[in-house]
Chains A and B, each alone.
Chain A
Amino acid sequence: EVQLVESGGGLVEPGGSLRLSCAASGFDFSKTWMTWVRQAPGKGLDWVGRIKSKNAGGTTDYAAPVKGRLSISRDDSKNTLYLQMNSLKTEDTAVYYCSSLSTWGGVIVLSYWGQGTLVTVSS
């Protein structure tokens, strides 16, 4: 059974940092591209960024609002995805979901999702 479990959320002051983790199990994590999506309270889904598998280059892409402040990494030996969040702003307040990326029908899909972890940026 595929499981994605996020952790590390909490309350942080503007300008602060936080690192989220996503523990994966039930699939070959090292071969899987991964992504982070966030959802501000009462709002829709916002794609944050993705990281490719190491054998695909391990490169990252980010949405414009987070580029340069949020960074995605992975530790395949621990089956864990990370989101390092620096220079946090109040508008980064959201539930953060990790998701696996799969190719189904020739199309990339967000195939499995974690339960999310809440990050609140406030003084």
Chain B
Amino acid sequence: DIQMTQSPSSLSASVGDRVTITCRTSQSISSNLNWYHQKPGKAPNLLIYAASSLQSGVPSRFSGSGSGTDFTLTISSLQPEDIASYYCQQSYSAPYTFGQGTKLEIK
């Protein structure tokens, strides 16, 4: 199985800050990496797919990059509505494992 290492597990930042979350996989997965966000009490939603493609309706302050084993989710200017937990997920091979998650809070 492919192991996922996501960091940090929690992050506190101010409105307007640039925020970066990283995800590393135990083997190369090309660009088979997706990011989801989950607001408290709600189901997760797809944010970025294929490492860098923005899901329809997602603000352009979100971006993704990387390939192989190292990936990054960036929020260019943090907004209050971005408070959520963020998860990376690989779909290179089943089981489609998730990262441990990053809980993002406003400072």
Give the interface size bracket for A toward B.
20 to 34
Q: Is the CB of B34 within 8 A of A107?
A: yes
Q: Is the CB of B46 within 8 A of A50?
A: no
Interface string of A61-88 (1 = CB under 8 A from B): 1111000000000000000000000000
Q: Is the CB of B34 within 8 A of A114?
A: no
> Which single residue of chain B is at the shortest CB-CB distance from A4?
B43
Q: Is the CB of B101 within 8 A of A45?
A: yes
Most buried by B among A35, A61, A109: A109
A-B contact count (CB 8 A): 71
Tell me whether A44 and B87 are in contact in the complex, defined as CB-CB below 8 angstroms, given that A64-B1, A107-B31 are known contacts.
Answer: yes
Which stretch (B18-26, B76-84, B88-96) binds chain A?
Answer: B88-96
Chain A residues with a Cβ under 8 A of chain B:
35, 37, 44-47, 49-50, 61-64, 97, 104-111, 113-116
Listed by A's residue number, 30 A-B pairs whose Cβ atoms lie within 8 Å are: A37-B98, A44-B85, A44-B99, A44-B100, A45-B44, A45-B89, A45-B101, A47-B89, A47-B95, A47-B96, A47-B98, A49-B95, A61-B94, A61-B95, A63-B95, A104-B50, A104-B53, A105-B49, A105-B50, A105-B53, A106-B31, A106-B50, A107-B31, A108-B32, A108-B91, A109-B49, A110-B89, A110-B96, A111-B46, A114-B43
